[in-house]
Amino acid sequence: MEKWVRGEEIGHGSFATISKTKPRKGSPLMAIKSSKACGFQTLENEKRVLDKIGACSQIIKCYGENHSVENGVNYHNLLLEFASGGSLSDQIKINGGRLPEPEIRRHARSILKGLSFIHSKGFVHCDIKLQNILMFDNGNVKIADFGLAKETSSSLETEQLTVRGTPLNLAPESVNFNEYESPSDIWALGCAVVEMVTGNPVWNYKQEPNIWALLLRIGGDEVPEIPEELSEEGKDFLSKCLIKDSKKRWTAEMLLNHTFVSDIKDDDESDNTVVSEEFSPRCPLDFSNWDSSPQPNSPEFSLELFNVFEFSSSSSSSNCLISPENRLRQLVSGDSANWSFSESWVTVRN
């Protein structure tokens, strides 16, 4: 990779900053994601995951990595595609707080195609949100920020009380049982679609020091409200994404056959999306052909389940038998939980 010159900063998060960068020999404009030594693990993980996943039209390209010393500070750098349109979160602000449904359908399809590819390669993104969906000159969007991605069914490297992702977009099974598998990406996609429609987070949550109430809503019986202004097809699409039981939640392949997105014409016909040839179910009776293998613990949460499971302090596995109440209490107890992985990107300048 040719040498580059760091330009203006265009965004920053908890562990890294994003700057424009231009190679000295006139190559295309790129973005450089840089982290100091304290946060370089997420960049290393992002590069590793992107290398293993491979190329896909709906996933951000990585051109390489290197290290630099600037003003006496060591940086780990990733060279990435530059998205001139910023994130979908930026686009909502530009468009007055919400996006028109035709655009939402097109963006949802692109995200699903990216997720289908990611999941087919045995990975979970773990942090799908509008800030991590980037827009390009042609209006297409791509999934970015794989710093928290993990391999399917692999245990978390950190303690079981770690929160992996953004709290507002966490799936019920992630809150209750620390499970982060492909269905959690679909739940987060549903949250993102709601935000595109309304301009507000799916739970319409106002930031407070104690997020106990938010976690109870996510892990409890309450189902996120589906926007009334959405078409009937859109409402049905969201009802398949925001199913509390992860085993019954539709997969990316299933959702790509849903009428909300299936009629969208693809700009790029030569992508690597994995789409199932089977039929797409349209009622609960059809769902048996799509149902995943039974799991010992249902992620469905209710107050009656508080005392069903016993917490095992000797196990750090994501499948340990821990009661939803204990997990929630430990997550919001202050010192126990690690919320550092909920990286929030702040746009400095597009």
Per-residue H/E/C for the chain: CCCEEEEEEEEECCCCEEEEEEECCCCCCEEEEEEEHHHHHHHHHHHHHHHHHCCCCCECCEEEEEEEEECCEEEEEEEEECCCCCEHHHHHHHCCCCCCHHHHHHHHHHHHHHHHHHHHCCEECCCCCHHHEEECCCCCEEECCCCCCEECCCCCCCCCCECCCCHHHCCHHHHHHCCCCHHHHHHHHHHHHHHHHHCCCCCCCCCCCCCHHHHHHHHCCCCCCCCCCCCHHHHHHHHHHCCCCCCCCCCHHHHHCCHHHHCCCCCCCCCCCCCCCCCCCCCHHHHHHCCCCCCCCCCCCCHHHCCCCCCCCCCCCCCCCCCHHHHHHHHCCCCCCECCCCCCCEECCC
Q: Would strands 30-36 and 73-81 be described as parallel, antiparallel, or unpaired?
A: antiparallel
206 marked as part of a ligand binding site = no
Catalytic residue (choose from 127, 221, 236, 286):
127
In 10 A of CB 347, how many CB atoms?
15
Enumerate the β-bridge partners of residue 18.
11, 33
CA angle (67 as vertex; 66, 68 as ends), nearest 5: 130
Q: Which two tokens stand for residue 219?
A: 């892990």
For this structure, is 127 an active site residue?
A: yes
The C-alpha atoms of residue 7 and residue 21 are separated, in whole angstroms, by: 5
The C-alpha atoms of residue 254 and residue 290 are separated, in whole angstroms, by: 8
In angstroms and rounded to an integer, the radius of gyration of the C-alpha atoms of the chain is 20
* Catalytic residue set: 127
**Binding-site residues from annotation for ATP:** 33
**Annotation: binding site:** 33
